Each structure stands twice: as C-alpha cells, then as structure tokens.
C-alpha cells in the first residue's frame, strides 16, 4: 500500500513507464471508487463498453482489461478521453464524480491514459480484441451443476406423478432461500440436517400412503411373485431415479424387498428407501458419461419445462437416442410445451421472478387501507399469473407484459383500480385511458409489493425495476449510513420526493439513489396498495395525550400536496416518463429489458447466474426471441436447445456431488 501511494503521489516517471502495472496502480483506484458496481455484466452500466472482469480474475486478465481501456482513450487528445472525463464528471456521468479532479487518483488515471496512447502493434491489437473475446465466451471456463436438488415444488410434482400423491409434502419442508432472485439456484441447494430429516419423514409417510388399502395407485406392474419383484424394482426404480438402475442397485433393492414376506410391505420398504436416495432427491442435469447423457437430457427437459419428472414418452425417446440431436430435443420440447404440465413450470417462474412471496407476506396499515386483506393480495398474484400466462400460452408478444392497457380484475381489484367489477372474477378488463396504468408496473402486484405498509416507496419501486426488469444490480448502501429520512411534520409538510432530496445531496447516497428514486418518482400517483391518487395526502397522527383526553374522534390533521411525477430511467436514452403506462413503454422497447427477460429465464432454468461463458448463448436466444416477435415459447425452446448445442453451458459452482453421492445412493433403508 505504501508503494502504491508513493507511485500515485509521484505523478510521473514510474507510472508513465511502459511497464506500469495496472493491477497495483489504477485498478485499485477504480476498485476503491466502486466503478465495478455499475460497470459489470449485471450493473447499471452493463450496456456501456466498460465491463470489469470478475472479482476473482487472475492477474493476467486484469492487465489485459487495463489495456482494453484504450477503446475509451482519445490517442490524439488524451485529455478529451472518456476514460478521464466520465469518472471525473467532466461530462455527464450516471455514476457522478467517482475520481476527484486534481487528486492523486486522477494523476494515476492520467498516467495510465498516457501509457495507453503509446500502445502499438500486437499489443494494441490484443487490447482492441479484448471485449470481442470476452463477449464470445471463449475466454471463460464453461461451468454448470452436474446435479440439481429437487426444489420443493419439483418434489411435490414428482411424488404426484410418481406415486399419485396430491398432499404436497414439501410445503412443510424448511423454506428455500431466494438467491439471484430465484429459489432454485445451485448455491442454495445444500442439505441441512432439518431438510434431511424432513425428507426421511416424508419418505416414510409417502410410502405408507402409497400402499394403504393395497396397491391402489397401480405401482406394481404384475402379479406379486419373485419375478414380479425384480420387474417392480427395475421399472419403479427407473421412474424414481430418472434412469435405468445399475445391476448392483437392482440387487440391493431386490434383496430389501425379499426381506419382507408380505410383498406389499416389501414394496413399501423399497419405495421408502428410494425416496431417500440422492438419486431421487437430485436430478442429473448434465454429464460427460455418454451412457447417462440421454437420461440427463430428459431430466433437464422435464424439470425445466414441466417442473416434474419425465413421463413415459420422454423416457422412451431418451432410450431410443432421439435426444442426441438438436431436432430431437426441439421436437420433444414443443411436445412438452403443449402439455398442461408446462403451466406448472411457468407459474413457478412468474411467481419467483415477480416475487409473489413479498406481497403474500406483506402487511398494510389497516387504518389507511382497511379493505386490503390476504384475499386482496391473493387476487393481485392471480391477476399477474393470468396476465403472464395468457401472453405465453396464446403466443402473444411477451413485451406486452409492460404495455398492456388491461388487467384481470376481481371485485377486490376493481375497487382499487376504480373500474366496474366484471361479471365473472378475473375477467379481462380494459383500463380507462385516464388511469395511466400500463402492464405489470401498473398492476396492484407491483405497486403494492414495492411499497411500505403505509405509503409508496420510490426507492423500492426503482430498485425492483432495476433488478427484475433490467437485470442490473444496485450496490448495497455503505456500512453505517443512516437510511431513515426525517419525518414530515405539520410545520414542514413534504412529499416523498421532497423528503428524499436528502439522497441527492448526500454524496454517499446520491449515486445509487439517483438510479432508483429517479424511476420511482414517476409512479408516485399510486399509493401503497396501487390506488390512484391525484395529490399526496399527508396525515399527522394524534398524539397519546389526545387519545387519553378522549379525543379519538377528533379529525386527524392532514394536508394535501401536489405531486411531481416527472422521471426517467438513468442509462436508457429518451426514457422520460410520468406514469406506469409510459414507463412500461420505455421498458418494452429497451434492448436492456428485452435481454433481461432472457437472462431471468436463463437463471431460472440453469439454476445459477449467467457468466461470461454464457454470453453467446444469451445473445443467440435474445436474437431468436426478438425475431419471433417476442414469443416466450420460442425463448423457452431456443434456450433448451442452446443448453446442449451452444457449447457454452456445462458445469458450475459447488462441489461435484456425483462421485460422492454415488457411493451412498442406495444405502438408505426405511427407518
């Protein structure tokens, strides 16, 4: 650190030398300025030409990145370089001033720019090709999980289709965490002791229920006998493990069945044991074993498109080898999307992407919103689900999700929206032009889940738009920053916009809040449950002395203030808006939002964040999505095919469970 400070302070020879080290000089300055937060693949400046390498990048890649900054340098007039003028705010910069003019940090920046002006020959060619190589994905290691644990919804759907059980036992399991915006991410799929115990209890109950009153679900394919036992183990085992059993596995389960003189009780023991096996609890996502690859592909298709296990037809085409070609996978995917089970998977995607859980667990001020109930929250999620599903299954333009001038309205929602209740619950209702509602950002779900219990929240609404609809990560506030704003008082009544001016004057808050609040202000005509308001009503609660004096019926002091809903989306050109309808139009036509839809579905399907290795896949699928007129089913099919044939999506994070689990896969007997 001392050496670095000396180098920066010298403002000269060492930094201007041809062999200046980017990693220990300017790179650390840019890191300290928190430039990475915005200039990353999921940052607010993701659409710019400046993308930092991953945080754990090796020194050689960091140096290559430093040289690649030459694309932001005016080699004839270095002081006019964007690399200098943007971070020092000499020209408009969404991130504001990150490097103070005249500081030692600016000296380091100028020194590196001077070095870049002298790049030539192969070194310059390599620097100019850095972004091309990064965007092609050829410079990144291909990664993906080999095994994926059944999510709770997949567990419920699998035991439904395997055993005919409709009890949804996983609803009682320990809750799953949201990571990267979804519950199915590989990083969150470890097995806690509580979850292992829950699996054991569920296996015992499911196996007992499966044979209560005999073989009522038709699990045994033949008349009970020794040969029938072998057939039962082989056929049921293939369904439960989504692949044929190995000889040793068959022998162990046949021996377990033979231990019980009563055939049905023996079969119950086999089912209970298989339901506790990692081969049931984890599904094979990809493998280098050619013998298992078709079965891995069938599992990936089933859990991606159906949220459940493969059916008999999918098992049959896996066995025939039809899933080894692009055409075979596409044909299977289209057949599966025509099946009602595909609705389960889409419902899971929509409910997690749009964070239904936040609204269903939210509370609202009963004094201000007495008719907002749990039923109202359920109605809002139902509307959003029907809205998204209609666009998908009826082949609509999916970007209409942001622009539609209609909703699916129940009596509860009609009261909030100020429209007549439809003849039938959740009929499609067109909103009056004056409502200014448009798409998902004008519906109760979005407006209520991004609000406080008693008022709207411009920050929460802007953050949701950034993260869910633009795939941009907004950094957390610095440690120790007081995020509470001073309350409005009768002496100084203020709107949310006025109170939040503190965010723009406080340097530690301004950059990020400009990105969020600047979006949320345009939605301020809608309150904490999505009701329209023309003015901001500010009420001042009675104090405890008034309550004690019996003045409970005395009118609550209040004041109404005009609303300024002028807003824009920083980072998107020509994005000014004043209402949800106008914001929806901005999002729908933005390539950032269009690609974000693809990224969000990729993250849901792959169970992980997208990486540099996935950029070609995402770009290819985004192009197909656009060319199809934004038909979401085409996105689903093209991504399923690309996962096998784009050559970029293989193994990722976490331990390789396959080898370690194979040894214990069949050692789980009934308790």
Amino acid 292: pLDDT: 92
CB 270 within 8 A of CB 253: yes
The residues with which 407 forms a beta bridge, in sequence order, are 429
Amino acid 146: pLDDT: 73
CB neighbour burial string for 242-254, b if at least 16 within 10 angstroms, e if fewer:
bbbbeeebbebbb
| Structural domain contains residue 558 | yes
Residue appearing with tokens 């999916």? 398
Which residues, 6+ apart, have CB-to-CB distance to 138 below 8 Å? none
Same domain, 417 and 544: yes
CB neighbour burial string for 285-303, b if at least 16 within 10 angstroms, e if fewer:
bbbeeeebbbbbbbbbbbb
Q: How far is CA 621 from the centre of its chain?
A: 17
Domain limit, last residue, from 342, 364, 381: 342
CB 350 within 8 A of CB 393: no
CB 409 within 8 A of CB 506: no
CA angle 249, 253, 258 (to 5 degrees): 145
CB 456 within 8 A of CB 531: no
CA separation (Å) from 655 to 84, 145, 186, 660? Answer: 43, 9, 10, 9
Same domain, 188 and 295: yes
| Structural domain contains residue 658 | no
CB 210 within 8 A of CB 232: no
Amino acid 542: pLDDT: 59
CA distance 637 to 395: 13
Amino acid 656: pLDDT: 39
Same domain, 94 and 225: no
| Structural domain contains residue 279 | yes
Same domain, 535 and 415: yes
Residue appearing with tokens 């915006």? 181
The residues with which 559 forms a beta bridge, in sequence order, are 538
Same domain, 506 and 555: yes
| Structural domain contains residue 662 | no
CA distance 47 to 41: 8
| Structural domain contains residue 656 | no
Contacts 24+ apart (CB under 8 A), 126-133: 126/64, 126/67, 127/64, 127/67, 127/68, 127/70, 127/71, 128/68, 128/70, 128/71, 130/64, 130/65, 130/67, 130/68, 131/49, 131/51, 131/68, 131/71
Residue 379 class from Cβ within 10 Å (0-12 exposed, 13-18 middle, 19+ buried)?
A: buried
Domain assignment of residue 421, given as a range: 351-476+492-588
Residue 160 class from Cβ within 10 Å (0-12 exposed, 13-18 middle, 19+ buried)?
A: middle
Picking from 650, 653, 572, 652, the residue whose alpha carbon sits closest to that of residue 617 is 650
Residues of the chain with pLDDT under 50: 1-18, 138-145, 547, 647-671
Q: Crossing angle of helices 104-117/2-10, nearest 10°?
A: 70
Domain limit, last residue, from 80, 104, 136: 136
Residue 61 class from Cβ within 10 Å (0-12 exposed, 13-18 middle, 19+ buried)?
A: middle
- Other CB atoms closer than 10 Å to residue 169's CB: what's the count? 19
Same domain, 155 and 176: yes
Domain limit, last residue, from 91, 106, 136: 136
| Structural domain contains residue 465 | yes
Same domain, 326 and 363: no
| Structural domain contains residue 663 | no
- Other CB atoms closer than 10 Å to residue 178's CB: what's the count? 15
CA separation (Å) from 433 to 413, 436, 579? Answer: 17, 6, 12
CB 4 within 8 A of CB 104: no
β-pair type (535-539, 427-430): unpaired
Residue 543 class from Cβ within 10 Å (0-12 exposed, 13-18 middle, 19+ buried)?
A: exposed
In the chain, the number of structural domains is 4
Same domain, 117 and 192: no
Q: Which two tokens stand for residue 489?
A: 């008082």
CA distance 168 to 161: 12
CB 610 within 8 A of CB 618: yes
**Torsion, CA 600, CA 604, CA 607, CA 608, rounded to 10:** 10
DSSP code for 422: P
pLDDT in tens, 6-23: 333 333 334 344 456 888
CB 654 within 8 A of CB 145: yes
Same domain, 398 and 279: no
Same domain, 231 and 183: yes
Residue appearing with tokens 């439904």? 160
Q: How far is CA 192 from the centre of its chain?
A: 23
The residues with which 456 forms a beta bridge, in sequence order, are 451
Picking from 381, 274, 393, 296, the residue whose alpha carbon sits closest to that of residue 341 is 393
| Structural domain contains residue 221 | yes
Picking from 252, 306, 267, 237, the residue whose alpha carbon sits closest to that of residue 668 is 252
Same domain, 288 and 180: yes
Same domain, 425 and 533: yes
CA distance 389 to 428: 13
């Amino acid at each position: 650190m001392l050496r670095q400070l000396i180098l920066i302070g010298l403002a000269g020879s060492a930094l201007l030398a041809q062999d200046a080290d980017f990693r220990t000089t300017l790179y650390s300055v840019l890191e300290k300025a928190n430039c990475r937060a915005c200039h990353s693949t999921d940052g607010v400046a993701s659409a710019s030409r400046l993308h930092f390498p991953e945080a754990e990048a090796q020194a050689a890649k960091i140096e290559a990145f430093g040289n690649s900054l030459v694309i932001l340098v005016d080699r004839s007039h270095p002081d006019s370089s964007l690399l200098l003028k943007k971070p020092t705010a000499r020209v408009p910069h969404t991130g504001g001033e990150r490097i103070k003019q005249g500081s030692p940090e600016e000296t380091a920046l100028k020194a590196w720019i001077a070095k870049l002006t002298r790049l030539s020959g192969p070194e310059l060619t390599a620097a100019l090709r850095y972004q091309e190589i990064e965007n092609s994905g050829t410079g990144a290691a291909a990664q993906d999980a080999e095994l994926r644990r059944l999510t709770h919804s997949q567990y419920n759907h699998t035991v439904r289709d395997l055993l005919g059980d409709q009890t949804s036992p996983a609803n009682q399991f320990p809750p799953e965490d949201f990571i990267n915006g979804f519950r199915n991410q590989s990083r969150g799929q470890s097995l806690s002791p509580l979850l292992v115990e829950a699996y054991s209890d569920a296996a015992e109950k499911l196996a007992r229920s499966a044979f209560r009153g005999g073989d009522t679900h038709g699990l045994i394919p033949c008349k009970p006998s020794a040969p029938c036992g072998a057939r039962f183990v082989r056929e049921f085992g293939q369904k439960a493990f989504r692949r044929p059993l190995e000889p040793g596995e068959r022998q162990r389960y046949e021996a377990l069945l033979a231990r019980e003189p009563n055939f049905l009780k023996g079969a119950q023991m086999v089912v209970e044991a298989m339901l506790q096996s990692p081969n049931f609890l984890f599904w094979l996502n990809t493998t280098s074993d050619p013998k298992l690859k078709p079965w891995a592909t069938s599992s990936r298709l089933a859990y991606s498109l159906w949220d459940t296990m493969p059916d008999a037809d999918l098992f049959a085409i896996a066995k025939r080898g039809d899933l080894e070609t692009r055409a075979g996978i596409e044909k299977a995917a289209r057949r599966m999307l025509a099946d009602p089970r595909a609705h389960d998977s889409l419902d899971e995607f929509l409910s997690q992407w749009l964070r239904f859980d936040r609204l269903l667990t939210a509370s609202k001020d009963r004094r201000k919103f007495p008719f907002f109930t749990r039923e109202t929250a359920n109605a809002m999620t139902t509307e959003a689900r029907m809205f998204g599903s209609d666009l998908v299954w009826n082949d609509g333009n999916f970007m209409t999700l942001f622009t539609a001038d209609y909703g699916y309205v129940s009596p509860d929602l009609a009261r909030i929206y100020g429209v007549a209740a439809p003849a039938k619950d959740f009929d499609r209702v067109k909103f009056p032009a004056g409502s200014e509602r448009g798409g998902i950002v004008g519906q109760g779900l979005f407006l209520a889940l991004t609000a406080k219990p008693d008022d709207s929240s411009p920050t929460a609404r802007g953050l949701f738009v950034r993260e869910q609809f633009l795939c941009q990560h907004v950094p957390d506030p610095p440690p120790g920053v007081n995020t509470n704003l001073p309350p409005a008082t009768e002496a100084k009544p203020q709107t949310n916009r006025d109170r939040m001016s503190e965010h723009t004057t406080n340097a530690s808050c301004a950059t990020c809040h400009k990105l969020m609040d600047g979006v949320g202000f345009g939605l301020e005509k809608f309150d904490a449950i999505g009701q329209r308001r023309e003015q901001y009503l500010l009420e001042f609660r009675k104090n405890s002395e008034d309550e004690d004096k019996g003045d409970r019926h005395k009118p609550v002091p209040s004041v109404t203030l005009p609303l300024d809903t002028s807003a824009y989306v920083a980072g998107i050109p020509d994005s000014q808006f004043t209402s949800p309808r106008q914001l929806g139009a901005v999002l729908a036509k933005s390539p950032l939002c269009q690609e974000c839809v693809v990224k969000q579905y990729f993250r849901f399907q792959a169970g992980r964040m997208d990486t540099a290795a996935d950029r070609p896949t995402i770009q290819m699928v985004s192009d197909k999505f656009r060319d199809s007129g934004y038909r979401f089913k085409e996105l689903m099919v093209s991504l399923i095919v690309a996962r096998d044939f784009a050559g970029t999506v293989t193994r990722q994070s976490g331990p390789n469970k396959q080898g370690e689990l194979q040894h214990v896969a069949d050692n789980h007997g009934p308790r």
